[in-house]
Structure 1
Amino acid sequence: MKRTFSALLVGASLLVVAGPPAVAVAPSRAAAVVAPSAAYRLPDLVPGVSRARRETVRPRRIEYVPRSEVAPATRAARCSAATGPYQRQAERYLGRQVDGRQSSGDCRAIRRFQQTHRIAPATGFAGPVTGAMVRVARARKNPNRAGHCPTLTQRTACVDLNRQLMWIQQGGRVILEPMPIRSGAPTMETRTGSYRIYLRRWRHISNLYGTRMPYAQFFDRGEALHGVYEDIFSGAGSHGCVNLTMTDARRAWEVLRKGDTVYVWGRKPGV
């Protein structure tokens, strides 16, 4: 898809791909994993729930688990014996023996982490959502430890494509803690560099796709920070924008202003 300046004027917004697929493949495992049943669906994902309700309820995060572990609504999720694709990362963060193999002790520790971070179903399977939240938790103390994001006097949204994280800092102080993001899909990668927010629209609708972009903050030729109603942990990625959960998009909207810096670096894993 040819991306010219004329096709990406103000308001001609780059949007996310469609909602979560029925089946996702764990990055390093042959077995298919699936999104949980409707028993685990949340206000952010359920049609018919009002926007106010979607934006005030703190949503759970939907993990992708082995097909055999998708529990019906009438049965509680059991502790998983399967090794997830992010097993080692979870073990390292939780202080477990880092051997990349699931044990009953690992499962209990991962399950507690999932419950703390509102990941459902909390089966102890270290899937992609658990892996993302481990990255968020590891970054929380000092997200800019590697010094990739410049220390500026103005507010700066730091977008780390390597870790799929964003935080906001000012003068070297973090003023909005790390949050997970979904950046551009292959061939539609989010552009790297230093930019300024030039347009903010609370209720923006894409001129190109007719799709809602709540809390849109544009920083480069149509690319924006904005919220999405679907699951940001699914799909190949956006059409170039930086996708946030509705809760995080609203928080970023409340902190940032027109003229603030957005600094993007790195490369999305798998792109």
Structure 2
Amino acid sequence: MGRIHRRGAVLLGITGLLAPLTISLSAGHAQAASCTAQTGPYQKQVEKFLGLPVDGRQSTTDCRAIQAFQTKHGITPNAGYAGPVTWGVMDLMNKQKAVGNNPNSAGKCPTNKGRIACVNLTLQLSWIQDGTKLVYGPVPVRTGRDGYETRTGLKKIYWRNIDHVSTIYDVPMPYAQFFDGGQAFHSVGISMWNPPGSHGCVNMTKADAKKYWSLLRNGDDVHVYGRKPGT
């Protein structure tokens, strides 16, 4: 447990922050492993996703393309193997893209609350709506990993700190907007598809976190629903 400090006062315990310690390298600084010649169980799917010739056989070109994708998104080991973690990220990207501009088509995020931030854990997407009107998004997010799940339910933003720093990991949490016992929207400098996830917070890109900061206020509703794959 950690603490949120505001003007020197201890206010709340932190339970969900940033990435797990095992994922310490950003995508841009991940060290490339040796390229594997082994054909993975999701070879054809991965080849299709990357726009490669779909023959189901690993090649040097395949491996380098897969390895570049893994390095970009912090998938380890980044040896160019078309395994379940790599395909799981790609499959999620496909599902996110298919949502288009109608993220609340199933009506699971309340439309009777006025302005509300919605978080779909299943698809790892978030957006802001006002009634039935889409205000911003949907955007990809990175939520809590197994054992540190982002808690579901209807919540409210109760505290905002544009320059917050985690007292657990001593890492910045820019544009932090807290909505449930230390869990918050905030920006991170890693890929939204970097597995396995945060310690409970809803990670966002800097651009999206800044937009959420400009659109939301204390007291605004947040609705979190679904279940993140792998949790």
Structure 2: gaps (5+ residues): 3-9, 57-71, 74-81
Structure 2: distance between partners of 1:68 and 1:253: 43
Q: CA deviation at 1:253?
A: 1.3
Structure 1: distance between partners of 2:198 and 2:210: 19
Per the alignment, residue 44 of structure 2 pairs with: 83
Matched, 1:254 2:214: yes
Structure 2: distance between partners of 1:187 and 1:20: 16
What is the root-mean-square deviation in Å for CA atoms of aligned residues?
Answer: 3.8
Give the alignment of 1:133-152 within 5 angstroms.
Answer: 133-152=93-112
Structure 2: distance between partners of 1:19 and 1:167: 29
Percent of pairs identical after alignment?
39
Contact 2:157 2:217 in 1 (8 A): yes
SS in structure 2 of the partner of residue 83 of structure 1: helix
Aligned residues: 193
SS in structure 2 of the partner of residue 146 of structure 1: coil
Q: Which amino acid aligns with 1:226?
A: H
Matched, 1:210 2:210: no
SS in structure 2 of the partner of residue 176 of structure 1: strand
Q: CA deviation at 1:209?
A: 2.4
Structure 1: gaps (5+ residues): 23-34, 47-63, 70-80, 92-100, 105-119
Q: Which amino acid aligns with 2:211?
A: R
Structure 1: distance between partners of 2:190 and 2:137: 22
Which among 231, 235, 249 is matched to residue 191 of structure 2? 231
Which among 72, 91, 94 is matched to residue 131 of structure 1? 91
Q: CA deviation at 1:186?
A: 0.9
Structure 2: distance between partners of 1:146 and 1:102: 34
Instruction: Give the 4+ runs in structure 1 shifted more than 6 A.
Output: none
Structure 2: distance between partners of 1:83 and 1:144: 32
Matched, 1:269 2:221: no
| TM-score of the pair, normalised by structure 2 | 0.69
Cα 1:203/1:11, change in 2 over 3 Å: farther
SS in structure 1 of the partner of residue 106 of structure 2: coil
Per the alignment, residue 111 of structure 1 pairs with: none
SS in structure 1 of the partner of residue 176 of structure 2: strand
Matched, 1:174 2:131: no
Structure 1: distance between partners of 2:47 and 2:135: 29
CA deviations on 1:64-85 (whole Å, 9 max, x unpaired) are 9x9459xxxxxxxxxxx94235
Relative to its length, the structure with more strand (as a share) is 2
Give the alignment of 1:196-207 within 5 angstroms.
Answer: 196-207=156-167
Matched, 1:244 2:196: no
SS in structure 2 of the partner of residue 15 of structure 1: coil
Matched, 1:163 2:115: no
| TM-score of the pair, normalised by structure 1 | 0.60
Structure 2: distance between partners of 1:205 and 1:86: 40
Contact 2:16 2:148 in 1 (8 A): no
Per the alignment, residue 10 of structure 1 pairs with: 12
Give the alignment of 1:11-160 within 5 angstroms.
Answer: 12=14, 14-16=16-18, 17-18=20-21, 20=23, 41=28, 67-68=35-36, 82-84=43-45, 102=54, 127-160=87-120
